Structure 1
Amino acid sequence: MADTLYLVVPCYNEEQVLPETSKRLTQKLQTMIDSGTVHAQSRILLVNDGSRDRTWEMICELHAQNPLISGLKLSRNKGHQNALLAGLMTAMPLCDMAISLDADLQDDVDVIDGFVAEYYNGCDVVYGVRNKRDTDTVFKRTTAVGFYKFMKALGVDIVENHADYRLMSKRALQGLSEFTEVNLFLRGIVPLIGYKSAVVKYDRHERFAGESKYPLKKMLAFAFDGITSFSVKPIRIITTLGFVIFAISMLALVYALIVWLMGKTVAGWTTLVGSIWMIGGIQLLCLGVIGEYIGKIYGEVKRRPRYIIEDFLQ
């Protein structure tokens, strides 16, 4: 007998794209139900992440018109990762597998069949990996590639060119529920679950409508969250840098004493000022990095809820 599939779609101010998204996902899911690939109880779960437009009203309308569409409303905006987790945890007791994807139709819905095929082959996690980044700007492509390489250099187990387009079995979702950190970076957490996994390649499309919800500022914040949530190497780099600067300063002190004893002291205003500014800048940078980690600890120890569900249209 076919297993139940839930398509989990976080939505934030997606009124422009939601009609087309629901149409395409409904067509795909209905085709899979008719062919017997998935169970008739399979659903599309649209998660409203505190949208300020008519997104929730449209979800309610779609739910009333379409039996395949369910809706989940968070009490306020909690960010993409928390909204995605809320949808996955809500779907977990209702499904055998769940696929998370964005609402903007950049993720190719036609490869959903490939995800499910790998699931039936025994995989608990199936990652959607981009073939290429032709749709990205040069800046975004360069920074994205650099980010993945940097994360790997820090020892983080992350799938390159994979965002949040993935399938997870019920067993994998139960494993995910064991991770209770407040600072969520699902791309780094999911590989830690283990279990058998596979990769499905796809071509990412242009956004169907509306504007990206990840401008440069959010992208940089997301990247830094990922780095500080999964590696303490930046702290170790600061420690190493401290030792290096200390060693250089000792050598400089020895040199200064020798020059003074030889009576050849020369005024070095430029060097002095430059050194002060350089060391001051390094100190501020180091304090900033340490502060980020302290902020992470502050958020974790308070144990505030990652999301609060206001309404669920099942």
Structure 2
Amino acid sequence: MSGVPELSVVIPMYNEEAVLPALVARLRPALDALGVSYEVVAVDDGSADGTASLVDDLRIEWPHLRLIRLRRNSGHQAALTAGLHRSRGGWVVSIDADLQDPPESIGDMLRLAREKNLDVVYGVRGDRATDTPFKRNTAGLYYRLMRRIVGPDLPSQAGDFRLVSRSVVDVLRRMPERVPVYRLLIPSLGFSSGSVSYTRERRAAGETKYPLRKMVALAWDSTADFTAAPLRLATWLGMAAFTASLVAMVFGLVVWANGTVIPGWTSLFLAVLLFAAVQLICLGLLGEYVARIYRTLQNRPAFHIGSDSADTSAAASAVPAQRTPATMP
């Protein structure tokens, strides 16, 4: 496909070989029905199965399909960043490969953006009945917490299924974050936005790529990237510990003045452990932020492009994660 497409669809993929046939069967008709020129940017995030090979085979029958291969597994947000940075469309949609977010909603997003002159259209999960109660409850807690951090502009139950204009992508390419959390970063930019509600479906095939460990990591990245509240929490814990030590000193003086001897060492031992634990928590929180500063100063790429089927140059390129934009093919 030649020329600049009107629409780019970015799909991060990691070990999605099982779901790819179902994805293509639904995505291609949905995009063909839009009547606009488009490209599908499949970003293989260092898959260990045959995902990349299958996408390459599918490109023979579907010339709109484009394959970007990362040299190693860099994570969902990094793969999404690679796709956004190298997308060419005037509008860019990001969607996961598992078909929990319906490709048919892309048309609704594009129409809403054009009719109301919006820069961002979020896909909002109106019904999450297919998720487990644990995931629904933890997701609800996550969005309530993030709305307190980012502000009311953050749409509830909006993940990484969204449509953005080229103006938004250009701003995102200049952002200093090493690996941005887009579900928080994009609402914080203040672009005009709307939303399209949909029913979240079950994963079409394969296994989830977001287990509890990654969900906790996402929650921490979201918190640490957008607020210094944990540092303030460390300060308050330190103040509380200092106040408690003052109270303990007054109590000790009163006991000494009354001539009462407190036997045993258990209370002293527990107190030392308590204060030591608070200090370690504070040091740990400080260390997390110092580590982020260190990684930022290193300015290392968050991902490395191994190949891009739309790139006419023979040499593979590395896309820096901050400040320096990627070279467009």
TM above 0.5, yes or no, is yes
Residue 269 of structure 2 corresponds to 273
Which string of whole-angstrom CA distances, capped at 9 and with x for unpartnered residues, describes residues 49-90 of structure 1? 111111111111111121221111112211110111111111
1:259 pairs, out of 255, 258, 269, with 255
Q: Are the counterparts in 1 of residues 81 and 179 from structure 2 also a CA contact under 8 Å?
A: no
TM-score, normalisation: structure 1: 0.92
Q: Are the counterparts in 2 of residues 15 and 54 from structure 1 also a CA contact under 8 Å?
A: yes
Q: Are the counterparts in 2 of residues 26 and 44 from structure 1 also a CA contact under 8 Å?
A: no
User: What is the RMSD of the two structures over their aligned residues, measured on CA atoms?
Assistant: 1.6
Deviation at 1:268, TM superposition (A): 5.3
Which string of whole-angstrom CA distances, capped at 9 and with x for unpartnered residues, describes residues 26-60 of structure 1? 01011112xxxxx2x31211111111111111111
Deviation at 1:141, TM superposition (A): 1.6
Change (3 A) 1:312 1:138: same
TM-score, normalisation: structure 2: 0.88
- Does 2:94 correspond to 1:100? yes
Give, in whole Å, the separation in 2 of the partners of 1:175 and 1:118.
Answer: 21
Q: Are the counterparts in 1 of residues 78 and 179 from structure 2 also a CA contact under 8 Å?
A: no
Q: After the TM superposition, which parts of structure 1 deviate over 6 Å for at least 4 consecutive aligned residues?
A: none
Give, in whole Å, the separation in 1 of the partners of 2:276 and 2:65.
Answer: 56
Q: Are the counterparts in 2 of residues 183 and 296 from structure 1 also a CA contact under 8 Å?
A: no
Residue 26 of structure 1 corresponds to 28
- Does 2:136 correspond to 1:134? no
- Does 2:143 correspond to 1:148? yes
Between Structure 1 and Structure 2, the one with more helix by share is 1
What letter matches 1:154 in structure 2? I
Structure 1 stretch displaced more, 257-266 or 7-16: 257-266
Deviation at 1:234, TM superposition (A): 0.8
Structure 1 stretch displaced more, 207-216 or 262-271: 262-271
Matches within 5 A, 1:288-299: 288-299=284-295
Matches within 5 A, 1:149-298: 149-155=144-150, 158-267=154-263, 269-298=265-294
What letter matches 2:9 in structure 1? L
- Does 2:107 correspond to 1:113? yes
Deviation at 1:283, TM superposition (A): 2.3
Give, in whole Å, the separation in 1 of the partners of 2:309 and 2:174.
Answer: 26
Q: Are the counterparts in 1 of residues 121 and 162 from structure 2 also a CA contact under 8 Å?
A: yes
Q: Which SS does the other structure have where 1:131 is aligned? A: strand
Which string of whole-angstrom CA distances, capped at 9 and with x for unpartnered residues, describes residues 119-162 of structure 1? 10200011111113212222222221112222233345633211
Give, in whole Å, the separation in 1 of the partners of 2:46 and 2:99.
Answer: 20
Q: Are the counterparts in 2 of residues 130 and 161 from structure 1 also a CA contact under 8 Å?
A: yes
Q: Which SS does the other structure have where 2:269 is aligned? A: helix
Q: Are the counterparts in 1 of residues 150 and 188 from structure 2 also a CA contact under 8 Å?
A: no
Q: Which SS does the other structure have where 2:127 is aligned? A: coil
Residue 125 of structure 1 corresponds to 120
The number of aligned residues is 304
Structure 1 stretch displaced more, 23-32 or 304-313: 304-313
Give, in whole Å, the separation in 2 of the partners of 1:294 and 1:132.
Answer: 40
Q: Which SS does the other structure have where 2:104 is aligned? A: helix
Q: Which SS does the other structure have where 2:124 is aligned? A: strand
Deviation at 1:306, TM superposition (A): 2.1
Give, in whole Å, the separation in 2 of the partners of 1:67 and 1:183.
Answer: 30
The percent identity for this pair of structures is 38
Which string of whole-angstrom CA distances, capped at 9 and with x for unpartnered residues, describes residues 184-228 of structure 1? 211111112222111111111000000001111111112111111
Q: Which SS does the other structure have where 1:70 is aligned? A: strand
Q: Which SS does the other structure have where 2:47 is aligned? A: coil
Give, in whole Å, the separation in 1 of the partners of 2:164 and 2:147.
Answer: 23
Give, in whole Å, the separation in 2 of the partners of 1:205 and 1:101.
Answer: 13
Change (3 A) 1:109 1:238: same
